[in-house]
Amino acid sequence: MDVKGKTKDNIKARLYVALFCNRKNMELVFDESWVTKPRASFVLEKNAQLLVYKWLKSLCFPNGHASNISRLVNMEECRLYGMKSHDCNMFMQTLIPLTFRDLLPKASICEAYIVEEISIFISYYFKPHLRMRIKCVPQHD
C-alpha cells in the first residue's frame, strides 16, 4: 500500500536489490545530483488503493469474529488505524487474498499464494466426505 513511514521499500532496501538480486527494474537510478527509486510492481496505484479502502469501509463481520474494520479505515489519508493483533492476523489471512486477487500482476508468487489460501478457505465449506488435497477424509470412514 506504500504508506509513508510504514513501508520497508526504502533506499537502503533498493541498494540491497542491486547487490543481491537480478532485478534491474527495481534498482535505484542515479543521475548527476539526485537518485530516483522506480515504482515497484507490487505497489498499488492510488485508484486501486482507494478501491481497497472503500471495500474495507463497507465490510461487516459477525459479532465476535473481528472488530468493526470499517471504523479503522481513514479514507482521507488512505490508512488503517488502531488494528489489534487479531484484526491484523484476520486481515492478512482472510482479507488480503480476496482483496488483492484482481489487483496484482498475473503469474506472480503472490497470485499462487492467494489461490492456495482461497482454496484452503473454501474447502471448509464443502461437505466433509469430499476428498481434497487440503482436507482428508477421517480415517475410520
Q: Where are the alpha helices (DSSP H) in the chain?
A: 11-20, 46-58, 85-90, 96-100, 109-123
For residue 134, the model assigns a pLDDT of 63
Q: What is the pLDDT along the chain (141 residues), one digit of tens a residue?
A: 777 777 788 888 888 888 888 888 888 888 888 888 888 877 888 888 888 889 888 887 777 777 778 888 888 888 888 888 888 888 887 787 777 777 766 676 777 777 777 777 777 776 666 666 665 555 555
For residue 131, the model assigns a pLDDT of 65
DSSP letter for 44, please.
P
Q: What is the DSSP string of 22-36?
A: --GGGS-EEETTEEE
For residue 140, the model assigns a pLDDT of 56
For residue 86, the model assigns a pLDDT of 83
Among 81, 118, 83, residue whose Cα is nearest residue 99: 118
For residue 48, the model assigns a pLDDT of 85
What pTM was computed for the model? 0.61
For residue 65, the model assigns a pLDDT of 72
Compute the distance between CA of residue 14 and CA of residue 28 in angstroms, rounded to an integer. Answer: 6
